[in-house]
Structure 1
Amino acid sequence: MTSLVEILRSAGKELYKHQLDFVSDVLWLARPRVLLADDVGLGKTIQALLLIKALMETGRVNHVLVVVPRAVVGQWEEELQRFDIPYFLVENPEFPIGHRLYLITLDRAKMPEYLDALSRIRWGLVVVDEAHKIRLGTQRLQLAHACKAAESCLLLTATPHTGDEEDYRFLTSLVDVVVRREKKDVEGYEGRKIFPSIRYWVVQVKASREEAFALYTVLNLLRSADVEPIVRVVVEKRAMSSPASFFKTLGRVVGGRCDEEALEEGELDACIGNVRGWRELAAQAEKFASAPDRKLAALKKLVEVLRGHKILVFTEYATTAEYLFNSLASSCRVVDSGDGFARADCGQLGVMYATSRARGKIDVSREAAALAKSHETALFISTDIMSEGVNLQDFDVVVNYEVVWSPTKHVQRVGRIWRLGQRADPIYVVDMVLKTPGVERDEFEMYLSLLEKLYEISLKALPPQSYGEFEVYEAAEDALRKILEVGSSIFLTEREVYEAAVGGRLEALRRKIEAIIREREKIRWKHKTLVEEGLGAKLGSLSKRQVEPGGGYYVAYVEYLADGAPLYRERVLVRLATPLSRSREMPEALYREAEVSWDAVEEERGGVREDERSAVERKIHTEMWLGGLKSYLENVRVLIPIREPSYRVAYVARARVVGFEMPLGGFDELVWQEVRRSRNIMRTELAAVSCVEAWLGQNGFVVKEDYASVPRPFDMVVIKGGVTYVVEIKGKWVGKREDPISFTANEIDFASRFPDRYIICIAYVDGDRCVELACQPFAQFQKEWVLETVRGIEYKYNARRRQ
């Protein structure tokens, strides 16, 4: 049976704690049925691939079906190859039987002929990416039957709740466990800032008199028109977004399927095409052909303001994408073009657009990344073919050119850039909204409805606005003018400003958000302490421990089970107490698989006596099972339905740990390297001590016990006003200012007991010169620094400044 640690290492990259925690938890389920609803950008694909590989290589599943949106098939193929998982891409209902993993698009998987063909295989695991698309009343609902029929099912989505409570209940009914972590949870687990800050802008564009009249005309025509309700809504919404561009692009759209499922897939032009033949609209199109487009003008100003950034502009209409490209790149050199795409070089600015028609002709995500790398300012205009599952960390701005159709789309768009691997800080999200005086309902009103909907579903998927600085701009004739700034919109505390800006609706929204925030704290997935306890119990230390070369070791193969069924195995290195000489005895030790460099471990031939095996098993039972894993699994059963967890020691062999030979001359070089390093550390420490001693004297402290580098939880003892204090000195070279400050567990324990009498002095030095010094009681230190546990040969703590 394959080792879990070997599978985790196959990722070829350092995994985050939430990813390790998820995979090592779910493997304890005999038949996993899980909805992984992590926030956008937290690596759901990597977690799914690790779980797939683990279940396949441990022999727990034979056939796997992976269903993904068409836009991310290429990304999944690349990741499957990187993880060395063979697969077959299904492009015809007559696909061959005999492969272990089949990859298919959502579009194909929902079709009857493909569903019939897929039903011939008994699936051990079905994985559905962007699973929020499985909704009641849609053709994709058929995929739910595949999930139900499979032995195990993994659903992936960052937006499990799309605003419809019935759909959400149905989706969660397909699984036994719902796991959701947000970005702030991941940063809490890691004890450091990982994701960039987010600046959230709303750009209000005031319609011109001609645009207002054009919108009024369209709304009047629709009021008496005999059209499908969904067509009426889309046409109304398109006209509200930009009446000028609506009329200018009307002649280029064609009719087609217009229902809720089609709209959710992306471009809405087909609905507009259902009314292009109206004589009344055609007449108005001629009338308003020369009307100014205020929103387009505002976008041009926005690009100027964001010079030097990489900007993604999302629109729901293919004709709008092409219209924006032609308008913004009118004086530029077009370097590539085809059906549904074009790219232009405007010097320091690069402009490109792509719609669904570009699929199969170009790799849209690669082209977007190349555009971002080749120009100082990049502007990529796209429909929602790029909004789900595609990683676009090279961009740092998302612009929503019109109010989006659904909260799900809004969150997914932001997630293209606000994710693991984003290097820019901050990133920007810009919503462009047309405000049209004189009409009873305009795009700004629709925008408020979107905000309300976003926060309504916040218990299941907190929207990006909740994390960032919230600012409202007005597009004046010559510039963008800020009219409102409210700090983090999660709190919306500036009541008077909001009421003055948009009336009482946002005040009600503020109260709703505050209630949501209180409720959210009640449904958190796991606290940091439980995650760390679990990782320690399931995997051991997350860093290598020093294992002394020599004999007296045993390798034990431990197999884990749930309800009697084998799950996975782990290698454990055990050393029993062994006299090495008359003067020295090596104490017992137990090392988990993740803690050992196994290339240095050699199993020895020959059997193991029964008393030796019993001693090894006792140590494993005491230190691993009773010492952590059993209690953790019992605690986590309130979240994950683990049935009858147990383990057995399958095999024990004698072993020795060998040292690696140093190359000729390597020993001397290493010795003097360590000497130079220790001298530099001592010089830095003594410079810090001199700095601290001067500060103590200036602040009325009298030294009673001088600095000494000895094993005690403080460096100095001082008195002030008859009160005794202790001082801990941490010296750092100024060039390592960003590095964490390390403390022993003994130091933190002592400081925690006497937080007002334990003074921490952090000195940054350059040679013998003190550059910066900060001394404060531990009680104050805790407010300004975050402590994170580091496990190694012994526990220690790293401290990082709070952001």
Structure 2
Amino acid sequence: MKEPFLPGQRWISRTEPDLGLGTVRQATDRSVTVHFGAAGETRTYASDQAPLRRVEYQAGDTVRDREDRSLVVEAVARRAGLLVYRGGGRELAEADLGDRLAFSDPLQRLLAGDLEEPGAFALRVAALEWQHRRRKSPARGFAGGRVELLPHQLHIASEVAGRLAPRVLLADEVGLGKTIEACLILHRLLLTGRAARVLILLPDSLVHQWFLELYRRFNLWFHIYDEDRCRALEAGGANPFLDDQLVLCGLGLLAGSPERARQALEAGWDLLVVDEAHHLEGAAYALVEALGAAVPSLLLLTATPEQLGVPGHFARLRLLDPHRFPDLDAYLRQADDYRAIADLAAGLLAPEPLPPPQAAALAALLGPDLGARLEESRPEALNALLDRHGTGRAMFRNTRAAVAGFPARIVHLAPLEPSPRDPRLDWLADLLRSTGDKVLLICSTRAQAEAIAQGLKPRVRVKAAVFHEGLTLVQRDRNAAWFAEPGGARILLCSEIGSEGRNFQFAHHLVLYDLPLDPDVLEQRIGRLDRIGQARDVEIHVPYPRGGAHEVLARWYHEGLDAFRTHLHGGRELLERFRDRLAAPGDVEGLVEATRAAREELRARLERGRDRLLELNSFRPGASAALLDELRRLDGDRALEGFLLTLFDRLPVDVEEVGPRTYQLGSMGVLAEALPGLSADGLTVTFDRERALAREELQFLTWDHPLVSGALDLLLGGGGGTSCFGRWPDPKASALYLEAVYVLACAAPPQLHVDRFLPPTPLRVVVDAQGRDLTAALPRALLARSARPAAGQGLLARPEVRQELLPRMLARAGGLAEARAPRLLAKARQDLAAHLDREIERLRALRRVNGGVSEGDIEGLLHQKAALDTHLREARLRLDAIHLVHRG
């Protein structure tokens, strides 16, 4: 029977032993709350399922108190359910034990005769080594997404996730994958422990789509909040937003209710994500402004950052950093300066030698060191120029011009003769009869979408689905899913809400039944099909009656702006310039010609100025090359696949190969609860990224997958392989070997991400009965291959082995491990200093020339460096596993 939880007791987490000793803070019949002082973490568990092990030291053990004073335990007493250790004439209550103490459970299991065979030890050591690599890897959080490995997305995700408290505007052009970038950043922050509570605010129409993207692509289960859920959760008087860590919420719920906004603000978050940020106005803007001021990290997403004009764009930048962007006029003046910087960047990219005036200007901007070696250090100089003088610190915007992989746009203008009945309906019926392909139609209003659906019925027999704001979110998602099915709807009739956020790239026919006045909205419509990954050219159909406003708008877009065939830059500015003439066109030929000339002038101006700098800073292939190579290496690593299959077999999980690198996993009953995602019905998984992308029913198995982390926790936290005994039938071998594995671990708050420098690090030591260090002479593979299962209870029952030989051998092994630890700690501290000193100096250089860095950014890194160094110096060794090998 499990010991009852009492406040003051000390327990250790089986799944997270590196948190150190925990103290029970509160215990009820249903839950227990434990504080891990060394890591600064508090966990609440269900009492009957808590992955905790009672810490109870025995006579002969050495313990330390909170002042780091040692005590050799001579006796143990119990008082009201709590332990008291006695030794050296004093007592130490268990509540006063140091938080960083280790617990030598493997030795106790060994002496008790609780033995496993050598293979279990080998698997445990392999698991520790894989866990070490996984937690230190720069690819952690990026590897597990079911996404294509696109360099422009990885560059932004890596750059943003590497910041202390990222606050950026992700403004890639339509179709380049802002949602994927945000999810990669989010996934990295969650898996490395730098974020735990996340709030995502969206237009109501995108809530379920984000939910599915997060779950299907990243195995993240967010909870959708609406008014009904909030009412149910607050029935007991609690703040409903405290009930879950990961929350998806329609922006309207909070913007429309001061009470809900107050609750969300008081709940506290580590990261706030806001999609379609160009819609933030009035109460919605004030809400995000208040939340953004209280939340350390903020991601704003929009493909059309200037849809509300330059003042609206500036207002979004103010949400990110009001100190950096206090004044619109100053922002506009600074934007003018970017043109000169863009010219210098173009000079560094050109193959010709730099003209003397440009070289002198660059030397003045970059300093004497880089200035003296510009010609031989152009890439370094370009990176420094963009970093210190560009705009990308607060904003990233990849363009289609810089990112390859887009299809062509083929435009079909369809002028129709006017008639009392809408001629577009007959034209649409003919289009559907002439092609068997799927067709996406977007129009302005719900009423129009419904009218088209009714008008099609007597004209053509076709499966049609509608998508508009009059449907519930679930109905919209079902209709979109029906459209996506190969045998489902052939046409989806959308109101304007279908033009944002949705991905319909499986289709390649787009009908623009009417045309919006705003060019940015037009680009949003086209972007539903014209996206990275679109396999065919996009056919854009524009039907319109001759001689009316529709024809004027179609010609203005096609002949004046070239907005159907190409992605338009500066559409908002051009709209403002020609708005009055569009309202009363008069000379249509003159309007088209003037628009064409204005478009060319604007394109040339933008290419010379801020857009060029943003493009260069947002996608630097060299900066993401190392991460991309590592991700590709991990994708092809068959050693990982082999280890996991062995681990699944040990747990046990039924494994059946059903294709190349693809397996059917079967649950063994109770394991279904311990392994996330593995239900009683089983699970089909693949280690192949391309196969996972092509077949959505397959789970993509990487180190980031919760099933893998759950399997590792089950093995390492459950004690498997910690006390093993084997026989080596070799007459030349020594009589007895002790193979011990220690783990050097640093308990630190997760937001510090200490794993970058010192993840839990296994140290293997082998000694013989004479205390000789045989670690190098007897590598793990040799003992794993040579040792055979054997019963060791007889040997361990001998007093001279239990009381003299084994303690002496273990003391020698511990001493050897302790001697190796300082070198590892010194290396970790050197890596820490090199990494953060480099970043601190970079930010100082940035601050001298660019207001995009605040003094708080630098102070935060200095504080982080000092805290990390303190925790690293307090790292401790713990004995994790013992393998005793007898000659036989």
Q: What is the TM-score with the length of structure 1 in the denominator?
A: 0.51
How far does the alpha carbon of each residue in 1:86-123 deviate from its partner, in whole angstroms, 9 at most, with x for none? 53523245443332233221221211342233333233
Q: Is the 2:746–2:760 contact (alpha carbons within 8 Å) kept by the matching residues of 1? A: no
User: What is the rounded CA distance, in whole Å, between the counterparts of 2:746 and 2:150 in structure 1?
Assistant: 25
Q: Which residue of 2 aligns with 1:317?
A: 445
Q: Which residue of 1 aligns with 2:550?
A: 443
Q: Which residue of 2 aligns with 1:248?
A: none
Q: Which residue of 1 aligns with 2:471?
A: 358
Q: Evaluate the alpha carbon distance shift between residue 36 and residue 357 of structure 1 in structure 2; reply closer, same or farther with a 3 A threshold.
A: same
Q: Which residue of 2 aligns with 1:382?
A: 494
Q: Equivalent of 1:330, from 458, 464, 473?
A: 458
1:523 maps to 2:614: yes
Q: Evaluate the alpha carbon distance shift between residue 106 and residue 377 of structure 1 in structure 2; reply closer, same or farther with a 3 A threshold.
A: closer
Q: Equivalent of 1:148, from 282, 293, 306?
A: 293
Aligned partner of residue 603 in structure 2, secondary structure: helix
User: What is the rounded CA distance, in whole Å, between the counterparts of 1:395 and 1:80 in structure 2?
Assistant: 23
Q: Which amino acid aligns with 1:328?
A: L
Aligned partner of residue 352 in structure 1, secondary structure: strand
Q: Equivalent of 1:175, from 317, 320, 324?
A: 320
Q: Equivalent of 1:532, from 617, 624, 631?
A: 624
Q: Equivalent of 2:254, from 109, 112, 117?
A: 109
Q: Equivalent of 1:199, from 389, 409, 433?
A: 409
Q: Which residue of 2 aligns with 1:293?
A: 422
Q: What is the TM-score with the length of structure 2 in the denominator?
A: 0.46
1:91 maps to 2:227: yes
Q: Equivalent of 2:539, from 428, 442, 456?
A: 428
* CA drift at 1:169: 0.5
Q: Evaluate the alpha carbon distance shift between residue 27 and residue 374 of structure 1 in structure 2; reply closer, same or farther with a 3 A threshold.
A: closer
Q: Evaluate the alpha carbon distance shift between residue 111 and residue 574 of structure 1 in structure 2; reply closer, same or farther with a 3 A threshold.
A: closer
Aligned partner of residue 143 in structure 1, secondary structure: helix
User: What is the rounded CA distance, in whole Å, between the counterparts of 1:467 and 1:633 in structure 2?
Assistant: 39
User: What is the rounded CA distance, in whole Å, between the counterparts of 1:140 and 1:43 in structure 2?
Assistant: 24
User: What is the rounded CA distance, in whole Å, between the counterparts of 1:536 and 1:368 in structure 2?
Assistant: 33
Q: Evaluate the alpha carbon distance shift between residue 543 and residue 81 of structure 1 in structure 2; reply closer, same or farther with a 3 A threshold.
A: closer
* CA drift at 1:168: 0.7
User: What is the rounded CA distance, in whole Å, between the counterparts of 1:572 and 1:142 in structure 2?
Assistant: 39
Q: Is the 2:202–2:250 contact (alpha carbons within 8 Å) kept by the matching residues of 1? A: yes
Q: Equivalent of 1:566, from 740, 744, 752?
A: 752
Q: Is the 2:465–2:491 contact (alpha carbons within 8 Å) kept by the matching residues of 1? A: yes
Q: Which amino acid aligns with 2:209?
A: Q
Question: Considering only aligned residues, what root-mean-square deviation do their CA atoms show, in Å?
Answer: 5.1
User: What is the rounded CA distance, in whole Å, between the counterparts of 1:179 and 1:559 in structure 2?
Assistant: 35
User: What is the rounded CA distance, in whole Å, between the counterparts of 2:741 and 2:400 in structure 1?
Assistant: 42
Q: Which residue of 2 aligns with 1:511?
A: 601
How far does the alpha carbon of each residue in 1:487-543 deviate from its partner, in whole angstroms, 9 at most, with x for none? xxxxxxxxxxx9899434323322322333343323322443442367389999766
* CA drift at 1:162: 0.5
User: What is the rounded CA distance, in whole Å, between the counterparts of 1:139 and 1:86 in structure 2?
Assistant: 22
Higher mean displacement: 410-419 or 521-530 = 521-530
Q: Equivalent of 2:155, from 21, 29, 54?
A: 21
Aligned partner of residue 356 in structure 1, secondary structure: coil
Q: Evaluate the alpha carbon distance shift between residue 69 and residue 553 of structure 1 in structure 2; reply closer, same or farther with a 3 A threshold.
A: same
Q: Evaluate the alpha carbon distance shift between residue 373 and residue 546 of structure 1 in structure 2; reply closer, same or farther with a 3 A threshold.
A: closer
Q: Is the 2:270–2:297 contact (alpha carbons within 8 Å) kept by the matching residues of 1? A: yes
The aligned length equals 490
* CA drift at 1:382: 1.2
Q: Which residue of 2 aligns with 1:68?
A: 202
* CA drift at 1:451: 7.5
Higher strand residue share = 1
Q: Evaluate the alpha carbon distance shift between residue 553 and residue 120 of structure 1 in structure 2; reply closer, same or farther with a 3 A threshold.
A: closer
How far does the alpha carbon of each residue in 1:128-169 deviate from its partner, in whole angstroms, 9 at most, with x for none? 12111113x565543332222323222122222204111111
How far does the alpha carbon of each residue in 1:355-410 deviate from its partner, in whole angstroms, 9 at most, with x for none? 322225x5334433434544599222111232222222322222211111433322
Q: Is the 1:72–1:389 contact (alpha carbons within 8 Å) kept by the matching residues of 2? A: yes
Q: Which residue of 2 aligns with 1:724?
A: none
User: What is the rounded CA distance, in whole Å, between the counterparts of 1:327 and 1:198 in structure 2?
Assistant: 31
User: What is the rounded CA distance, in whole Å, between the counterparts of 1:631 and 1:12 in structure 2?
Assistant: 33
Q: Which amino acid aligns with 1:126?
A: L
Q: Is the 1:315–1:384 contact (alpha carbons within 8 Å) kept by the matching residues of 2? A: yes
Aligned partner of residue 7 in structure 1, secondary structure: coil
Aligned partner of residue 107 in structure 1, secondary structure: helix
Aligned partner of residue 409 in structure 1, secondary structure: helix
Q: Which residue of 1 aligns with 2:34?
A: none
- Consecutive unaligned residues of structure 2, counting only runs of 5 or more, are 1-38, 40-134, 322-392, 569-587, 644-738, 766-775, 777-811, 881-888
Q: Which amino acid aligns with 1:106?
A: L
Q: Is the 1:204–1:435 contact (alpha carbons within 8 Å) kept by the matching residues of 2? A: no
Q: Which residue of 2 aligns with 1:134?
A: 280
Q: Percent identity?
A: 23
User: What is the rounded CA distance, in whole Å, between the counterparts of 1:553 and 1:185 in structure 2?
Assistant: 54
User: What is the rounded CA distance, in whole Å, between the counterparts of 2:596 and 2:224 in structure 1?
Assistant: 51
Q: Which amino acid aligns with 1:511?
A: E
Q: Evaluate the alpha carbon distance shift between residue 380 and residue 207 of structure 1 in structure 2; reply closer, same or farther with a 3 A threshold.
A: same
Q: Which residue of 1 aligns with 2:310?
A: 165
User: What is the rounded CA distance, in whole Å, between the counterparts of 1:166 and 1:452 in structure 2?
Assistant: 29
How far does the alpha carbon of each residue in 1:201-225 deviate from its partner, in whole angstroms, 9 at most, with x for none? 15152553xx6xxxxxxxxxxxxxx
Q: Is the 1:163–1:407 contact (alpha carbons within 8 Å) kept by the matching residues of 2? A: no
* CA drift at 1:23: 3.5
Q: Which residue of 2 aligns with 1:234?
A: none
Q: Is the 1:308–1:377 contact (alpha carbons within 8 Å) kept by the matching residues of 2? A: no
User: What is the rounded CA distance, in whole Å, between the counterparts of 2:272 and 2:561 in structure 1?
Assistant: 30
Q: Evaluate the alpha carbon distance shift between residue 117 and residue 22 of structure 1 in structure 2; reply closer, same or farther with a 3 A threshold.
A: same
Q: Equivalent of 2:531, from 419, 435, 446?
A: 419
User: What is the rounded CA distance, in whole Å, between the counterparts of 1:445 and 1:296 in structure 2?
Assistant: 20
Q: Which amino acid aligns with 1:66?
A: I
1:404 maps to 2:516: yes
User: What is the rounded CA distance, in whole Å, between the counterparts of 1:59 and 1:158 in structure 2?
Assistant: 29
Q: Is the 1:39–1:180 contact (alpha carbons within 8 Å) kept by the matching residues of 2? A: no
User: What is the rounded CA distance, in whole Å, between the counterparts of 1:22 and 1:365 in structure 2?
Assistant: 30
Q: Is the 1:315–1:401 contact (alpha carbons within 8 Å) kept by the matching residues of 2? A: yes
User: What is the rounded CA distance, in whole Å, between the counterparts of 2:744 and 2:150 in structure 1?
Assistant: 28
Aligned partner of residue 391 in structure 1, secondary structure: coil
Higher helix residue share = 2
Q: Which amino acid aligns with 2:566?
A: S
Q: Evaluate the alpha carbon distance shift between residue 561 and residue 397 of structure 1 in structure 2; reply closer, same or farther with a 3 A threshold.
A: farther
User: What is the rounded CA distance, in whole Å, between the counterparts of 2:596 and 2:823 in structure 1?
Assistant: 67
Q: Evaluate the alpha carbon distance shift between residue 151 and residue 556 of structure 1 in structure 2; reply closer, same or farther with a 3 A threshold.
A: same
Q: Evaluate the alpha carbon distance shift between residue 399 and residue 556 of structure 1 in structure 2; reply closer, same or farther with a 3 A threshold.
A: farther
* CA drift at 1:436: 1.4
